[in-house]
Amino acid sequence: MEIRINGLVNDSIVDGPGLRLAVFVQGCSHRCPGCHNPGTHDPLGGRVMDTGEIVEMLKENPLLDGLTLSGGEPFEQPGPCLVLAEAAKGLGMNVWAYSGYTYEQLKGMEDPAVQGLLEVCDVLVDGRFVQALRSLDLDFRGSGNQRLIDLRKTREAGQVVLWERPAW
């Protein structure tokens, strides 16, 4: 399946815990002022890749802890992102997704691929970047309004449960 991406980082340590393959999808309708990836906004920018190539990258790096889907807006390409997330889970990895949409907005979407992606992901970093709330002191997010949602615990509790960094 084809996916339009802006770039890949095969050894990210800032897009979730551990060593991660970060996929920066191309295209974002949010266009948040102050976005740190404005080059991802144009849905026709970037380049097209086959998801199979990215899955091979996941398989080839035994040091990876997980996959991060960022952007751009992963939920504007939910089908190919779901393929990647399912492959990562099949390899025993955790999956994080960043979205300018809130969890509640995503849950309200009727696209089966969006719902599937929410089911497969472990953590959702949700909410638009708000420059006035920008902070470099936040774990894995850019502005104070964004939440780190533990999706498994959220499903179990029937309400949003925030992710907490494990005590190592």
The model's pLDDT over 3-56, given as tens digits with 9 standing for 90+, comes to 999 999 999 999 999 999 999 999 999 999 999 899 999 999 999 999 999 999
pLDDT in tens, 58-79: 999 999 999 999 999 999 999 9
Q: Which CATH architecture has domain 2-157?
A: Alpha-Beta Barrel (3.20)
Mean pLDDT of 144-148: 98
Whether the full predicted model's pTM is greater than 0.85, yes or no, is: yes
In angstroms, the CA 44 to CA 136 distance is 31
Q: Which pLDDT does position 166 carry in this prediction?
A: 84
Question: Where do the domains of the chain lie?
Answer: 2-157
The H-assigned helical ranges of the chain are: 51-60, 78-90, 103-107, 112-120, 151-157
Mean pLDDT of 134-145: 95
C-beta separation of 75 from 46 below 8 A: no
